[in-house]
Structure 1
């Protein structure tokens, strides 16, 4: 009775005329705020598109708050340990939630937390399936087709006529047209099934059918089919998929984040299991079949994969004058525009067999193990460099790991240790804790040997891969009073062996602080500062004393942000970015000022940006997240002097069809050509359009 009184009071206070069984209308994600809080600090080697894709899948497959366990709730990266504990205790005392509005009755849940998680959660039980599977598949409302076209309208050098150099060599050019085409079909129901395919052709690639070069219309084709909760089978997958177990040392796909403004929960990976692969990136996924079987507290996963990979091979002659072809390098760009790039397409195959075993000892303790065997159709012998002497070479690799998660009161402990065929070890150990209702902390220690070889690992690391690194991370979040929040982290790490662009071992560090103030739902202000000190090789001046010398590069950047919702339909965002890079006492500065405006109506929405930027060089560049059309991602880097502006329009033509259009232009005042090589544009401006149509088949 007391619980019902609380719920009634909440609903009456809000003036909501819904019954208890009805749900809060699902809002759209504020992608810019969410991404900048959760995503790692922008860098060139971070795979943002893959992270973004999995974030959208979380949005389309919301977590059932009445069914989710600790692991699933933590996987959102949006709740603290104390909030998760409070939700689980509330469920055990009062039973299932009757309405999402009831979250306000749970201790530790404030309005900001509730608004943040609502797009990603539900109370509907997707497992109640009374109709036959094929009928559910045929009639699913979330069945849609997406068609997207993108193009840069200024002519790049790669699309110009060929010419002949002074030596008589004919220059290379792109073989295809400048249109970027993308097509996706998807039908899915949360925790029931997912089926779809993706087709992609990049600008400069030919739309052709040519068996010798393995090109069949679109340059890239991906498909997947997954079923969930079929008897004791938790997951059944065919086609393209990814896997996530432990802390990502062996299987590290999915919604894995790193160092960002959300400083506490994002350091931990989650064992979400087998995931459909739906991105258009042409590497980093399995192709074949996978299954997860549940038996009481045990989960058994097995996978098998055979997938073509891009790369360059060279011919070697052995002592018996036998021809042997070896892999010399991988091509992970996915671009096949020139004869040279086409020659790398599907040059070898990669075979994988893997397993994962998990055991849920009780509601607090989970542990498991993983194993992955990888074999290439040819031997991989990379070109020798000073820094890659301990990198993988050979035709096969295998690795295994043990991992655990343990929750004790408001403390969550986790870890994983893996061993690769080379004998190299990778280990992660960390904790996330709520010291009080106002203070959360996180700590993580990692150690990756210089000969630790993991092809699908994506553990917490400063580098893009878990190899040749040791470090300790500390994160803090303080909420002293309701309207204020302070986030900070400090990360100290070292590289025991050489690495790309650094030919000596090094000690480096990085830290960030962010102060947020939200006096009302319509106004939010925050100030962020980040600093890093990292070593880098100095340019070779062709002098004996300058070879392989390094210097410390100190980067600082700041961001001031003001969000204000003027009315229900009108929103503005004002931002100022600042950067400074110091190399050998020389300072280079950068500044960017941005003004965004968004106008929403019932059937249409308009978003616009105008920005000015001024940086001394590329080292002082500034990354700025940009709004884009549906499910398209952009964090470009700006350097030099100029202005950037774009306009995005969205319109509901009908209940089934929604149209998106984006026009963007960058104009420079410090140059007469943009980019270099075949990407070079003569002139000082670059214009791009994007047109996207989304059509729902069953609405």
Structure 2
């Protein structure tokens, strides 16, 4: 079967000889700036999808507003201000490569901006809402060549194909996005899903209309301050904090991801109550949302919510029973005063559930889970931004969770504060403090830390970065945190310790990185909050080393990745070696990579990033022993129409079955095919 698949792909290549491939530069840059195992999977994918959506519909950087620049993941507020000041001083950029002249922008950020912006003069009559329309239509089909247990036993009600359609329209001030998607095993125009695809999402967005700076109707995301009370977007990771300063700004964005959670449904807007310019104004951002939630309901009368389900799967009868089980209403507002370098915001969010949330609290780590129908949280966000010193933070208050019915009502506190000091042109230092009470339970809050839900964590992070050595960037951080209440997997209070060292070299056609990370999570029985660097701890410790070398010679490119990990607490270990080679012609491109991996256990799993189709996941988790092959072909059939074909083959040498339960594959290998058409018009 695999030989047939490879033969088919190579037979398709001659039809790709009449076009030019779109750039996927930002994929490699994003992968080098972020580590998958440092993000939660949802946050990592969310940031990647946002960048992909921007790259799909590039914007004229001369027409980009301050808010447009701040919406770019990994771009700091200081860098956005620097671009605005550069335009004010020298006029419109004549070429996107002119970004390299802005000293606040480093090469990685310039590459990302070059992928999502272009530069051309702004005509005098460019103020109409429907001026300069651009559209894109993206169709993706995933075809597995194997059958999972859920299909064999008839548990999955739909077919094994997964597919999606994404449409975007962008004009001078109007943006429309629509997405329809179906996962493998879900029904399509039949059974409980006669409407077609399993999930639909979309929005319409209008910008800069009188005092209305921004208006979104449909599915959207809101991020407030550090995310302590509301953050539908991605959250900063420890490695990305070395590159960017958390913003205290309230931001809106349309939701076009296939993720069936982490969004609001309704209307949101940003209103300019007073505005002198982009850096001095008062704005109000109200939002209102009502949507269905998937949930596991109790058998009591009236029924209560045992668990809110966010994976979006509706393949079996049981999963369909949880679909649209209850509803959620969200209302809130953010009032922000900006007079750079100062910004301060007053924020409030209220959440109402149709049915009462009543999770099981039999286990000690679940005693302070949120419960009830109504949740109200308020916060104060603030920042001070200058070229040399940046400070930002948020402090939130909300109703405290109770241990049991006898526990008294109270107020729970959460605060996170970050500071960056660029004490030299080539040196910067960064620190972040957070305190999240174990009784603080915001339903929609997500912020920086070992935990994502802003609860049960106190910690301090310190990092430093320098480019003092020619062509070399050195960075490092140390992060220590304490969890006063019991967490899952621990029978006592616990602590976490994380250290990271990185060296990156880039010159002409050669780039190389070397990263080392040590993580330790253990109970505090010993009374020490410092790392033990040994195997005799009640918890886990892990050493990880990664190196990547990329080289471009003419139309050829190569990539080598080597990773190793060791867990002294369990003597687990793992390593992988990956080699990739590509050829980019004027009218087509081809990429082939082969990865050998060998780990002793799931605990020693490793992550690898590789090239993929547009919106495709570029990171893969590997454990056990085996070989992974990735083949990718891209081209444009006619002007504006790009075709992509990807074949991913995974062979295990240490097992005859893959996965478990309904996802089980009765084979030691699996082959997935991906087909995609990307039409821009």
Normalising by the residue count of structure 2, what TM-score does the alignment of the two structures yield?
Answer: 0.87
Is 2:514 the partner of 1:521? no
Which residue in 2 is equivalent to 1:117? 113
Which residue in 1 is equivalent to 2:152? 160
How do 1:295-334 and structure 2 match up within 5 A?
A: 295=273, 296=275, 297-316=281-300, 323-334=301-312
Q: Alpha carbons of 1:638 and 1:27: their partners in 2 closer, same or farther (altered >3 Å)? A: closer
- Does structure 1 conserve the Cα–Cα contact (< 8 Å) formed by 2:36 and 2:619? no
Is 2:544 the partner of 1:557? yes
Which residue in 1 is equivalent to 2:486? 498
- Does structure 2 conserve the Cα–Cα contact (< 8 Å) formed by 1:525 and 1:562? yes
Query: Hey, what's the Cα distance between the residues in 1 that align with 2:147 and 2:336?
Result: 54
Equivalent of 1:430, from 405, 418, 426? 418
Query: Hey, what's the Cα distance between the residues in 2 that align with 1:267 and 1:214?
Result: 44
Q: Alpha carbons of 1:380 and 1:597: their partners in 2 closer, same or farther (altered >3 Å)? A: same
Gaps of 5+ in 2: 1-20, 276-280, 401-410, 525-535
Query: By how many angstroms is 1:640 displaced?
Result: 0.9
Which residue in 2 is equivalent to 1:533? 520
Is 2:371 the partner of 1:379? no
Query: Hey, what's the Cα distance between the residues in 1 that align with 2:161 and 2:443?
Result: 32
Query: Hey, what's the Cα distance between the residues in 1 that align with 2:360 and 2:426?
Result: 53
Is 2:460 the partner of 1:472? yes
Query: By how many angstroms is 1:114 displaced?
Result: 3.7
Which residue in 1 is equivalent to 2:557? 571
How do 1:109-508 and structure 2 match up within 5 A?
A: 114-123=110-119, 130=126, 133=129, 135-136=130-131, 140-141=133-134, 143-161=135-153, 173-189=155-171, 192-210=173-191, 216-260=195-239, 262-266=240-244, 268-269=246-247, 271=249, 273-295=251-273, 296=275, 297-316=281-300, 323-360=301-338, 362-384=339-361, 385-422=363-400, 423-508=411-496
Query: Hey, what's the Cα distance between the residues in 2 that align with 1:79 and 1:217?
Result: 38
Is 2:28 the partner of 1:37? no
Query: Hey, what's the Cα distance between the residues in 1 that align with 2:370 and 2:638?
Result: 54
Q: Alpha carbons of 1:656 and 1:89: their partners in 2 closer, same or farther (altered >3 Å)? A: closer
Equivalent of 1:624, from 598, 604, 608? 608
- CA RMSD, Structure 1 to Structure 2 (Å): 2.8
Q: Alpha carbons of 1:506 and 1:145: their partners in 2 closer, same or farther (altered >3 Å)? A: same
Query: By how many angstroms is 1:192 displaced?
Result: 1.3
Alignment deviations for residues 423-474 of structure 1 (CA, whole Å, 9 cap, x no partner): 2111011111211011111110001111212222221121122111111111
4+ aligned runs moved over 3 Å, structure 1: 25-28, 38-47, 57-117, 120-133
Query: Hey, what's the Cα distance between the residues in 1 that align with 2:111 and 2:511?
Result: 14
Query: Hey, what's the Cα distance between the residues in 1 that align with 2:364 and 2:119?
Result: 56
- Does structure 2 conserve the Cα–Cα contact (< 8 Å) formed by 1:348 and 1:378? yes
Query: Hey, what's the Cα distance between the residues in 2 that align with 1:484 and 1:46?
Result: 31
Which residue in 2 is equivalent to 1:6? none
Query: Hey, what's the Cα distance between the residues in 1 that align with 2:78 and 2:67?
Result: 14
Query: By how many angstroms is 1:656 displaced?
Result: 3.1
Matched pairs, number: 634
Q: Alpha carbons of 1:161 and 1:392: their partners in 2 closer, same or farther (altered >3 Å)? A: closer
How do 1:589-600 and structure 2 match up within 5 A?
A: 589-600=573-584
Is 2:595 the partner of 1:607? no
Query: By how many angstroms is 1:594 displaced?
Result: 0.2
Query: By how many angstroms is 1:59 displaced?
Result: 3.5
- Does structure 1 conserve the Cα–Cα contact (< 8 Å) formed by 2:392 and 2:419? yes
Alignment deviations for residues 269-311 of structure 1 (CA, whole Å, 9 cap, x no partner): 4525211001111111100111111132111111111100001
Alignment deviations for residues 160-213 of structure 1 (CA, whole Å, 9 cap, x no partner): 146xxxxxxxxxx11111111211121123x61211211111111111455xx5
SS of the residue 1:424 aligns to: strand
Q: Alpha carbons of 1:104 and 1:675: their partners in 2 closer, same or farther (altered >3 Å)? A: closer
- Does structure 2 conserve the Cα–Cα contact (< 8 Å) formed by 1:370 and 1:402? yes
SS of the residue 2:32 aligns to: helix
Query: By how many angstroms is 1:96 displaced?
Result: 5.0
Query: Hey, what's the Cα distance between the residues in 2 that align with 1:645 and 1:33?
Result: 22
Structure 1 range deviating more: 498-507 or 299-308 = 498-507
Alignment deviations for residues 307-353 of structure 1 (CA, whole Å, 9 cap, x no partner): 0000111132xxxxxx3111111111111111111110000000111
Larger RCO (CA within 8 A; separation ≥ 6)? 2
Query: Hey, what's the Cα distance between the residues in 1 that align with 2:115 and 2:177?
Result: 23
Query: Hey, what's the Cα distance between the residues in 2 that align with 1:269 and 1:80?
Result: 8
Query: Hey, what's the Cα distance between the residues in 1 that align with 2:126 and 2:28?
Result: 39
Query: Hey, what's the Cα distance between the residues in 2 that align with 1:57 and 1:44?
Result: 20
Query: By how many angstroms is 1:120 displaced?
Result: 3.9
- Does structure 2 conserve the Cα–Cα contact (< 8 Å) formed by 1:257 and 1:267? no
Query: By how many angstroms is 1:494 displaced?
Result: 1.0
- Does structure 1 conserve the Cα–Cα contact (< 8 Å) formed by 2:136 and 2:679? yes
- Does structure 2 conserve the Cα–Cα contact (< 8 Å) formed by 1:85 and 1:410? no
Normalising by the residue count of structure 1, what TM-score does the alignment of the two structures yield?
Answer: 0.85
Query: By how many angstroms is 1:155 displaced?
Result: 1.5
